[in-house]
A = this chain, B = another copy of it.
Amino acid sequence: MAGFVDSTPGLPVLEIPGIRLATVEAGIRYRDRPDLALFELAAGSETAALFTRNAFCAAPVQIARAHLAAAKPRYLLVNAGNANAGTGAAGRQAALACCEALARQAGVATEQVLPFSTGVIGEHLPAARITAALPRLLAELAPGAWPNAAQAIMTTDTRPKSAFVEIDGARIAAIAKGAGMIRPDMATMLAFVCTDASLSAAETDALLREQVGQSFNRITVDGDTSTNDACALTATGAAGPLRGRQRAQFREALGEVFRNLAQAIIRDAEGASKFITVRVSEGKTTGECLQVAYAVAQSPLVKTACFASDPNWGRVLAAVGRAGLADLELAKLHILLGGKLVVANGEPAPGYSEQAGLAAMAGTDIEIAICLGRGACEESVWTSDLSHEYIRINAEYRT
C-alpha cells in the first residue's frame, strides 16, 4: 500500500476522479466557519449508506433512506450546527426543501440528493439559509476541497478527520466527524468515503457493512447513540474495475481508512486524554467477547481510573463480572495492562507490582487485555477516558 496519509497539514490530498466538493459559510449556527458541505458524485457512481439505529432518527436520515431506495445519488448535502431531529413534519419538509432546491439548480431528480445534518437536536433547521447558499456551493465545486469539507462538518470536534490512500488501481478519500454521543450502533456521527474503483451496487453495500462493523461499530465514547449517524461509501468507477490481487489490496486499504477514521474519533473524543483499547480473548463467541469488551469500555469507573492513570484492575474485574455472561469462571480470568499480567486465574498475579501497573497506565495509549479462558474468539473495541473536560464540554455547551 502506498501513500497512506492522514489529515496532518502539509501532506498531499488525493483527488478522486468523479468526485467534486465545495463548502460555504451558511450561518446555520456557527459564525466565521464553513458549516455546509456538498459532494457531487459523477453520474453512474454507486453509493451505499448505513444510518443510525436510534428509533427517533432525524428528518434528514428519514429522507436520505427514502431517496437512496429510490435513485442513485448524485449529491450529498451536509450541514453542521443543527441536527434537524425531534422536529416532526416541519423538519422533514425543511430537509426536503433543501433537496428540491439543489436538485432544481443541478438538474437532477430530488431523490438523487441525500441530506445529512449534525448538531443540536430539537431546533428547526434554517432551510432558507441553506437554499440561499446553494448557488455558491455549486459554483465552487472542485476535486481538491476535501480538507474544507472535513472542517465544514465538525461540531464539538477539535480537529478535522480525514484519510487518503492510493493503491495500485484505485484511490480512496474519506472524511468523518464525531466526538460525543458515540456508541457502537453506527457510531460515526458522519463519515463519507469515496473511491474511484468500479464496484457494483452489491459490492459497495457489502464492503460498507463489513468495514463499518470493524471500525465505527467498534468504538464507544459515552454509550449514547445519535439520532443522525450516517456513513456513506461511493464508488465512481472512474479508475475501472479492480483486477486480480488489486481486489484484496483494495479491501485492506479500505479497512485501514475506516479504522483510521474510527480511531481518530476516539482520539478526539470529548475530553479524551487517553486512547484505550479493550481486547477480550478466549471467549466462546465473538458476541460474548464484545459484550465483555463494552461492559469494560463503557464503565465510568474504569474510564475514570484511566483518566487518573490508575491501574485499578478491581474495577475492570467488576465490570467483566457484571457483563452478563453465564457461567463465567473467575478462576480462569486473566487481566493484562499494557501487556503486563495483573490478574492471573482470578487473583493478583504473582510478581505483579503497583509500579508495573502505573507504568502501563502512564502513556496516552492504554491497552486492557482480558482473557476469559473459555474459547478461541477475540474482539477489540476502542474507547476514551472520562475526564473533567468531558463534564465541562457537556455541561457548558449544548451539543
Contacts and interface: CB of A to CB of B under 8 A. Distances in A.
A325 B55 CA distance: 8
B227 A347 contact: no
Given A56-B346, A321-B55, A122 B224 contact: no
Count this chain's copies in the assembly. 2
B395 A223 contact: no
B180 A322 contact: no
Contacts of A120: 314
A122 B54 contact: no
B346 A121 contact: no
Nearest to A321: B56
Interface residues of A, number: 64
B225 A322 contact: yes
Given A299-B224, A348-B122, A398-B312, A391 B317 contact: no
A395 B274 CA distance: 14
A143 B325 CA distance: 43
Contacts of A11: none
Contact of A304 (B56, B298, B321, B394): B394
26 contacts: A55-B320, A55-B322, A55-B325, A56-B330, A56-B333, A83-B314, A85-B317, A86-B313, A86-B347, A121-B314, A122-B314, A122-B348, A181-B318, A183-B322, A185-B322, A224-B318, A225-B318, A227-B321, A304-B390, A304-B391, A304-B395, A308-B396, A310-B395, A386-B391, A388-B392, A391-B391
